[in-house]
Every structure is written in structure tokens, then in C-alpha cells.
Amino acid sequence: MKKIVGLGNALTDVLTVLKSDDLLAELSLPKGSMQLVGREVSESISANIEEGNRYLVTGGSASNTITGLARLGVPVGFVGKVGSDEIGDFFISDTEKNGIKPMLIRSQIPSGICVSLVSPDGERTMATYLGAACEMRAEDLKAEMFSGYDYCHIEGYLVQSHELIEQAMRLAKQAGAKISLDLASYNVVEENLDFLQRIAREYVDVIFANEEEAKAFTGVEAAEAVHEIAEICEIAVVKLGAKGALVKKDGVCVEVASLPGVKCVDTTGAGDLFASGFLYGLVSGRTMEECGKIGSVVGGNVVQVVGPKMDNERWDAIRRKIDEI
């Protein structure tokens, strides 16, 4: 099977389920957004979380996608940067435990964490202290990190360093890999629009975007945005949440339904795991419609649990469902 390497912010997620959205207002965090915060703010948010109501898991958008791919049996690696601390040790050991080749650079700065606040309706609001993750630089990347991989999956959150993300794409292309890019968050797209549009045209083969990200990227609604995105890359994927997804390749656009009968508990990782399923289908030689359906199966399962990780029983059920597609 083809191999995939991921590149992203190596973050450890601290997940908590809120009883109401009052805390979001108190902390001035727009619901559904991803906000970058400093260490002091991150610690303040953590202090407002009840001790018995927190879950610790390795996270970060690309890391979530790569973990999902590993659980589906795809040979994978992950490139990121962590601190020389307990959280960094946890990230490395958990990455290895999940069957991923870790290519993690150590820093003297504390490891990054992402506090994910899950509202009663399942919507998640993220406050991210990047820490060591944002210290990853273009010069940290080596050609051998990308050698032997068929795809390189990159998260848009890395756009905090234009030089880093462009160097990664350059090295991946030199290694013969195709590039998939997840646009990450609508505010990230808005703040880096010109740069993202340029690198998409020059390097990217597959673009993943949700409705808000697609609109921020193109200026039009999802139904039109998928066509505009497909003009600048090989495959355009616009995720519509509970409404499914739109996929376009070679002038053909397909509509993909969402997984039926889903009770959403937490949307954390939904887009990341949709990408896992889609990329699994892609490297398995599936049609675009089948890739989308597999994405919906994986993404539709992760929203039924808290956090981006699922237990073995659920993964077994997912694999059985994929075999039926």
C-alpha cells in the first residue's frame, strides 16, 4: 500500500465538555473558532476546567489524520516538534503506540497544548498554545523525512510560518510525493489568503475545506467553491458536516451523503478523520465517491465520542463498514 507522511503542530489535546457556553463568553472565545493564545492565557483557561472533566490525548489536525490512517492500516509517519518535557514524552510514546513512525524534533520550549472546549451541542472551540510546535522551522526539515512517501498531508495551521510550510511542500515534491492540504480554520484562511492561494496553485494536489473555509478561500458558497478549488488542484473536497461533502476531480463533481443515524457528541477531529477516510480510499485506488463515503464513515463515527480518538471496537466496526463500500 502507498505511504503517507503528515506534517503539523504536535499538540496534546486537553478536552473538556462544558455544561453551558457561559465559559466561552467569560474567556472571550468565539464559539467554533480556533484561537491562538499565549502560555498565561492557556493556563488560565485550564484553571477554569474541572479536574475530573478533562481528557488527555495526542492531537493536532495532521496528527489526528495520520493516526486515523494508521488505524486503517496505512503505513504512516509524522513530522512535528515537541518540548523536552513530560507532555513531549507522552506525545512521542502515544504516536509510536498508534503505529506511526515519529519524526519529532525536540525543543527546550514547553510542548504545545490545545484546550478543546466542547459545547452541549457538540460544537468545539479551541484555544491553542503552540509552544514548541510553533518553533518548528524550515531548517528543521530534512529531505529524508519525506523520502519513500507517496503523499504528504499538511495542516493549514502551520501557516504561522510561511517559510516552513513552503519548504515542506518543496521537499515533498522533490521526493515525488503528492500533497494534500487541510485549510484548518476559516480565520486562518482569512488571515493568510494570498499566501494559501499561491502555494495551493504551485504545490497542492488535494485540498480539504469545510463550508466556512471554502468560502473564506474562494469568496463563494460551498456549492460554487468546490468548482473554484478544483480549478487550482487535482481534487477538491468541501466538507458539509451533517450534510455530507462535495468532491470534484477531472471535471466531475459528486455529492456524498453523511453517515445516517449519527448522534453528535463532539465535533473535535471530525474533519481530520474525514480526511483519514478519504485519503485511505485514495491510496487504495477507490473512486472519488467511494473515498467520500469512507470519509463520511470515519468522520461520522468520531463525532459520536469525546475527542479525536476511538476505541478498538469502533475501529473494527468502521473497517467492516468500509469493506461494504
- What's the CATH code of the domain at 150? 3.40.1190.20
Q: Classify residue 38: in a domain, yes or no.
A: no
Dist CA 293 CA 274 (whole Å): 9
Spell out the residues 6+ positions from residue 83 whose beta carbon is closer than 8 angstroms to its own: 106, 107, 108, 109, 110, 111, 112, 131, 132
Spell out the residues 6+ positions from residue 283 whose beta carbon is closer than 8 angstroms to its own: 1, 2, 4, 74, 150, 151
Q: Classify residue 35: in a domain, yes or no.
A: no
**Residue entry with cell 504536535:** 10
Please name every residue paired with 208 in a beta bridge, in sequence order, or none if there are none. Answer: 182, 237
Higher pLDDT, 7 or 47: 7
> What is the pLDDT at residue 40?
84
> What is the pLDDT at residue 115?
87
Q: 2-6, 25-29, 52-56, 231-235: which range is least confident on average?
A: 52-56
Q: Classify residue 67: in a domain, yes or no.
A: yes
> What is the pLDDT at residue 52?
64
Q: Classify residue 264: in a domain, yes or no.
A: yes
Annotate the chain with three-state secondary structure: CCCEEEECCCEEEEEEECCCCHHHHHCCCCCCCEEECCHHHHHHHHHCCCCCCCEEEEECHHHHHHHHHHHCCCCEEEEEEEECCHHHHHHHHHHHHCCCEEEEEEECCCCEEEEEEECCCCCEEEEEECHHHHHCCHHHCCHHHCCCCCEEEEEHHHHHCHHHHHHHHHHHHHCCCEEEEECCCHHHHHHCHHHHHHHHHHHCCEEEEEHHHHHHHHCCCHHHHHHHHHCCCCEEEEECHHHCEEEEECCEEEEECCCCCCCCCCCCCHHHHHHHHHHHHHHCCCCHHHHHHHHHHHHHHHCCCCCCCCCHHHHHHHHHHHHHC
Q: Classify residue 137: in a domain, yes or no.
A: yes
Q: Which domain holds residue 213?
A: 4-10+59-111+133-324
Cα 221 → chain centroid: 22
Q: Tell me the average pLDDT across 159-172.
A: 96
Separation of first and last alpha carbons in the chain = 18
Say whether pLDDT at 99 is over 80.
yes
Q: Tell me the average pLDDT across 250-257.
A: 97
State percent of the chain over pLDDT 90. 73
Under 8 Å between Cβ of 210 and 174? no
Say whether pLDDT at 156 is over 90.
yes
Under 8 Å between Cβ of 76 and 100? yes
pLDDT tens for each residue of 175-194 = 999 999 999 999 999 999 99
Under 8 Å between Cβ of 79 and 5? yes
pLDDT tens for each residue of 114-138 = 888 889 998 889 888 989 998 999 9
**Banded pLDDT at 51 (limits 50, 70, 90):** low
Q: Classify residue 164: in a domain, yes or no.
A: yes
Say whether pLDDT at 50 is over 80.
no
C-alpha cell at 216: 473564506
CB count within 10 Å of CB 310 equals 20
Short-list 65, 70, 134, CA closest to 96: 70
Q: Classify residue 219: in a domain, yes or no.
A: yes
Please count the structural domains in the chain. 1
Q: Classify residue 227: in a domain, yes or no.
A: yes
